[in-house]
Amino acid sequence: MSRVLATLLSVALCWRAGICAAQPAGEDDLPARRGDYLADVGRALDRAWQAGERARAHLPDRSLGPWTARLQISIAADGAVREVTVEASSGVPPFDDEAVRSVRTIQRFPAPPGELLDPASAAFSFPFTFHAAGRQLPQYTGGALVRTSQTQSWEIGSSVDLERRATALRGSTAIPAQAAYHRTTVMVTAAHHLEAIGLVELQVPLEAIRYRELATGTSTEASGLGDVSLHLHRFRRSGRWSSGYFVGVRVPTGATAAMPLAGQALPTVVQLGSGTLDPEYGACVNVQVTDRGSLSACDHGSIALYTNAHDYRDPYAFQARLFFAMPFLDHHVSAQAGLLYEAQGVARWQGQELASTGHHELFAEASAWLSLVHGLSLRSTIELPVYETVRGMQLADTLRVMAGLSYDFDRR
């Protein structure tokens, strides 16, 4: 009887102190006790884990994740942290440092069960993985209008842009004429982040244009390399706000026709390049309006400074986009919806303005972004015209569809 009372008193005292010595357990119980103990350790580390806030302060020009760091942790018999080492780095030192800090912050873990201790070191060692899901939406490189700082080294991609014009307009009124203009652009892109400069992006387009005018039987086709673009992007992030801008130049690598117009009833510019060195610019501002949703405003423009060898000058082009984005499935999927405003100036040929150029247009736009596996991302976009005014008599947009794949070498 006295032995039973002594045992009960011992159990009560050790429970009160919170440092009960491990009780012997059979071999069958060992995996369960290990799992239970690691679950207790995980809950303690979750309370100390502040990777997002701390890493963001150290990396203002980088996307937040996804990052994974695996540590090797050694805990003494009394629960004190004996050793912490980075076994597999996330590739981002501030993230690794925060993982180590989280372990060191906890002065004493629950005492590990005695049967888990290594007899030689009187400590329990185990690997523990820290993971932070990507906070940036899966973005596609090559879209200068909505480019974000996603990569830390290299990113490559390609996209297909299908543009169709078939509605004949005079001003903003449809006229009884039939023609079709189809433009297909396959864009191959590469982006590389340079520490002291920013993100350098190269865009190489392969294009095919087909124009057919039913009234006169005119049919024109052109295909080949378009004008190559080189952009330099810079980014800044502060709290809920982030912004970026780019400057660049469009290099005249696309073919230009001696006669830039095709068709008689509805003359249209059909050529792959401008033949001039055209500056480009753009900027984006993004604000996190809810815990999950963000609102962005972006613009993108290009300017033709002089005429080409065929006495033709491209019009200026300007786009402005306002859209709302909402991520799903732990930021692996994002849906975007908004409006795109596009303005294009009047082209000049042989010193004369071309009345078949120049328009203002408003599109309704919807996009879906999907992070497939590792660094592979998929984008799809559809644009439908809502309102358009044109200068003179010309074709108006009826549909535009885009899709693309990109691969970020930093996302493992």
Residues in the chain: 412
Span 345-384, pLDDT tens digits: 999 998 899 888 999 999 999 999 888 877 788 889 999 9
- The better pLDDT of the pair 400, 236 is held by 400
Picking from 75, 101, 132, the residue at the C-terminal end of a domain is 132
Same domain, 98 and 239: no
Q: Which residues contact 298 (CB under 8 A, 6 or more apart)?
A: 145, 146, 282, 283, 284, 285, 320, 321
Rounded CA gap, 301 and 306, in Å? 16
Domain containing residue 125: 27-57+66-132
Picking from 132, 157, 179, the residue at the C-terminal end of a domain is 132
Same domain, 250 and 363: yes
Q: How sure is the predictor about 101, in pLDDT bands with cuts at 50, 70 and 90?
A: confident
In a domain, 250, yes or no: yes
- The better pLDDT of the pair 127, 408 is held by 127
Is residue 316's pLDDT more than 90? Answer: yes
Q: How sure is the predictor about 314, in pLDDT bands with cuts at 50, 70 and 90?
A: very high
Picking from 132, 158, 177, the residue at the C-terminal end of a domain is 132
Q: How sure is the predictor about 160, in pLDDT bands with cuts at 50, 70 and 90?
A: very high
> Is residue 325 classed exposed, middle or buried when 0-12, 13-18 and 19+ CB atoms within 10 A define those classes?
buried
Please name which of 343, 349, 386, 381 lies closest in space to residue 364, comparing C-alpha atoms.
386
Counted domains in the chain: 2
Same domain, 264 and 379: yes
Same domain, 235 and 352: yes
In a domain, 124, yes or no: yes
3-state DSSP percent of the chain in helix, strand and coil, to 5: 15, 50, 35
Q: Which run of H or of E encompasses 327?
A: strand 317-328
User: pTM to 2 decimals?
Assistant: 0.71
Tokens of 252: 């005249």
In a domain, 380, yes or no: yes
In a domain, 137, yes or no: no
Same domain, 157 and 118: no
Task: Name the residue with tokens 């919170």.
Answer: 18
Q: Which run of H or of E encompasses 318?
A: strand 317-328
For residues 192-208, average pLDDT: 89
Same domain, 224 and 99: no
Same domain, 263 and 301: yes
Task: Name the residue with tokens 């970020």.
Answer: 408
With beta carbons less than 8 A apart as the criterion, state whether 387 and 381 touch.
Answer: no
In a domain, 219, yes or no: yes
